[in-house]
Chain A
Amino acid sequence: MKTAKETEGARAGRAVNAALGAAGLVGFLALGEAVPRLGLVKEAYFPPTSRIAEALGQELGDAAFWTALGDTLTGWALGLAVAVAAGIVVGVTVSVVPYLREATASTIEFLRPIPSVALIPLAVLLFGTELRSVLLLVVYASFWQVLIQVLYGVRDVDPVAEETARSYGLGTWARIRHVLWPTALPYVMTGVRLAAAVALILAITGELVIGAPGLGSRLAVAQNSQAVPEMYALVVVTGLLGLLINGGARTVERRALAWHQSVRGEVAV
């Protein structure tokens, strides 16, 4: 009885949240329509929502737009996959091998804050204006997000569990698989979610600045062509893409951590 009431309450709360979210979005769009129409900003530089929506419709009907979207997503997915794989392997290795963590700590802290964008000249020199130059930026930026989370996650391993596994004679690999990995996984998923967003930002920035094919370079062309509504339409697309990617990453996180306290929290107690 109590639980039924609770779920009902939760459902009502969710409905209110969704309604508030929709109202916020509608208000935002209406503001975007009104501000240029009232002449507070010039329509030529900040077109009203309806004009942007029209341009967006035209974009969606253009095959070249979908190619560009595919290019951007390819760069994003490949870069993210490489960064996640490398981040996990390097993070676990650094944590497991004795003294390696201490030896690499200062190097990691030195390399991590270097903005990926600062590597653009290097990327162009190595790979020209191709997908690979964007990949370099994406991998560099998202690798650290994963690596740092893996390092924190490994540090979180319960020493009692670790010692117990040792006394039961579990080997290094078995301890990684059964003790270290389940502890680190929530951190890893956080890292992946952060990396997914960073990878998208860097994929589009790379295309925008270098001119590698994708949404970013299409955005730059619109900008240089004085096609203002088209430019905003593409900005909207990148925003939507970010929203989808974040939603997707959260879903993957929830699925992978279905057993974990943080996800099943409300059921646990």
Chain B
Amino acid sequence: MRRLLAGLAAGLLSLTAAACGSSGNSGSSGGGSPQQDGSASGSTATVRLGVIPIVDVAPVYLGQKRGIYARHGLKLELTTAQGGAAIVPAVVSGQFQFGFSNVTTLMVAQSNGVPVKAVANGAASTGVVGKDFGALTVKKGSAIRSAKDLDGKKVAVNTLRAINELAVRESVRRAGGDPSKVRFVELAFDQMPAALDSGQIDAAMVVEPALATIKSQGGTEIASPLVDVAGNLTVAMYFTSRQYAEREPELVKKFQKATAESLAYAGEHPDEVRDIVTTYTKIPASLLKQVILPKWPAEPDRNSIEALRKLGEQDGLFPKQTPDLDALLP
């Protein structure tokens, strides 16, 4: 008994020591300032970037692997989170110096007075109807042929009142339908193929890799809502907090340059992208081959973001104040 207790105590002690060690690493970045030894002198500074484990963030993984960030004097630490809802507060409170988020979330955050500042492009729609990484899909053999037929139908989006709902509403409008008659329900992307298949929903606004699953089961695309919003819609961006942007303009500039370079590299090397995706997701190889990659232009497309803001205003996404794009965008 005594030996058992002694063993337990020793185990706990070593665990505590391990935990102290790991939290010690991040302790200095907890206050919002990175571990750095003088950014002006050109030495390496550590920055933490919060990302969601999806295909869209492949360029930063590639940039890290290919040493693009290191060349710009940044030691990039990638931390995955389960969604923008976890990343935005962590960036604002200084746990991460940078984060990845879709543009609508950033606009909503800014209109609610959350101090966010977009610094680099994230991912963009391909701009090609029928060949985008997100699509409005219906089940095999469905009577619904276009977005116009969605009157009174149940359509799944991953988050209500966010980018995908806005985009589907626009598709319905363009097809000559009435978006107010569409019943939107919230469902995680990964659950959409099964829900569509079993008839719980009539249509799904889905992105890769769930889109590839739906297509492999014979589902069809009836619209490319992201393309309907704007030709080259900027879907997501990397951002920081306004305080950090003001305090560390040099580091932010380095991050911008390295990210732009990584985006360009990813755009030119789709095979390497597909390779690196397997290191942080578990997308089955057979599915990954069919996945349509997003576009990674080095700069965000301001016009497309304006278009998105207009749709957001129209659908009442910003009740407090209209987002100020001059302040939000780099």
Q: What residues of chain A have their CB less than 8 Å away from a CB belonging to chain B?
A: 42, 44-45, 74, 77-78, 81, 121, 124-132, 208-211, 217, 220-227, 230, 255-256
Contacts and interface: CB of A to CB of B under 8 A. Distances in A.
Contacts of A210: 81-82, 86
Given A77-B15, A78-B16, A130 B284 contact: no
Contact of B93 (A74, A126, A225, A227): A126
Contacts of A208: 82
20 contacts: A44-B217, A74-B18, A125-B90, A127-B95, A128-B90, A128-B96, A129-B80, A129-B82, A208-B82, A217-B82, A221-B53, A221-B282, A223-B188, A224-B53, A224-B189, A225-B53, A226-B190, A226-B284, A227-B284, A230-B282
Contacts of B287: 226
A130 B89 contact: no
B294 interface: no
Nearest to B279: A64
B26 interface: yes
A130 B23 contact: yes
Contact of A124 (B53, B89, B189, B213): B89
Nearest to B16: A78
Interface residues of B, number: 42
B89 A226 contact: no
B6 interface: no
A217 B283 contact: no
A129 B53 contact: no
A3 B256 CA distance: 80
A189 to B, nearest CB: 13
B1 A255 contact: yes
A208 B280 CA distance: 15
Given A125-B90, A226-B209, A226-B284, 10 more contacts: A44-B213, A128-B50, A128-B96, A129-B86, A130-B23, A210-B82, A211-B81, A226-B193, A255-B4, A256-B1
A78 B21 CA distance: 14
Interface string B1-32: 10010000001100110110011001000000
A204 B188 CA distance: 19
B28 to A, nearest CB: 13
A209 B82 contact: yes
Interface string B182-198: 00000011100110010
A100 to B, nearest CB: 28
Contacts of B142: none
B280 A221 contact: yes
Interface in B167-209: 188-190, 193-194, 197, 209
B307 interface: no
A126 B30 CA distance: 9
Contact of A224 (B54, B90, B93, B95): B54
Contacts of B159: none
Chain B binding surface SS class: helix
A45 B200 CA distance: 15
A225 B80 contact: no
Contacts of A255: 1, 4
B321 interface: no
A44 B90 CA distance: 36
Given A125-B93, A221-B280, A131 B19 contact: yes
B106 interface: no
A193 to B, nearest CB: 15
A222 B281 CA distance: 7
A221 B55 CA distance: 12
B282 A220 contact: no
B79 interface: yes
Given A81-B12, A211-B86, A129 B81 contact: yes
A217 B15 contact: no
A19 to B, nearest CB: 31
Contacts of A128: 26, 50, 79, 90, 93, 95-96
Contact of B90 (A74, A77, A124): A124
B210 interface: yes
Contact of A77 (B12, B82, B93): B12
Interface in B65-90: 79-83, 86, 89-90
Nearest to A59: B282
A245 to B, nearest CB: 14
A78 B82 contact: no
Interface in B266-295: 280-284, 287
Given A124-B90, A125-B93, A226-B283, A78 B209 contact: no
Given A127-B95, A225-B282, A78 B81 contact: no
4 residue pairs, one from A and one from B, having the closest CB atoms: A128-B95, A211-B82, A211-B81, A227-B282
A130 B26 contact: yes
Contacts of A217: 80, 82
Contacts of B188: 223
Nearest to A121: B89
Nearest to B4: A255
A42 B140 CA distance: 15
B105 to A, nearest CB: 15
B81 A226 contact: no
A222 B278 CA distance: 11
A67 B213 CA distance: 29
B46 to A, nearest CB: 15
A132 B23 contact: yes
